[in-house]
Amino acid sequence: MGKIEVNHSRCISCAGCVGVCPVDTITLQGLTLTIDQAPCISCGLCVQFCPVGALTPGETYGASYTRKVDKVLVVL
């Protein structure tokens, strides 16, 4: 289980999350969304942004990064 999970049946391949990801860990391959979990900083911006709710926090989401998340949100 990763930090961010994609529900492919909800995803509409709009790439809004790709644009908002501060560490470029999300890509659209053709029309398929892929998330490289390793560089993900669990900031949750993509989860917050997604217009259709296709992204959800996974099991390992945010465990140790909570303070950074706040900072990311404030700065962005």
| Alpha carbon distance 38, 13 (integer Å) | 22
The binding track of 19-58 with respect to other proteins, each residue x by CB under 8 A or -, is: xx-xxxx-xxxxx----x-xx-x---x-xxxxxxx-----
For residue 39, count CB atoms less than 10 angstroms from its CB and return exposed for 0-12, middle for 13-18, buried for 19 or more: exposed
Other beta carbons within 10 angstroms of residue 17's beta carbon come to 24
Q: Does 7 bind other proteins (CB under 8 A)?
A: no
**Interacting residue with other proteins among 1, 9, 59, 76 (CB under 8 A):** 76
Determine contact, residues 74/41, Cβ cutoff 8 Å.
Answer: no
CB of 10 to other proteins, least distance (A): 9
List residues binding other proteins (CB under 8 A): 12-20, 22-25, 27-31, 36, 38-39, 41, 45, 47-53, 64-65, 68, 71-73, 75-76
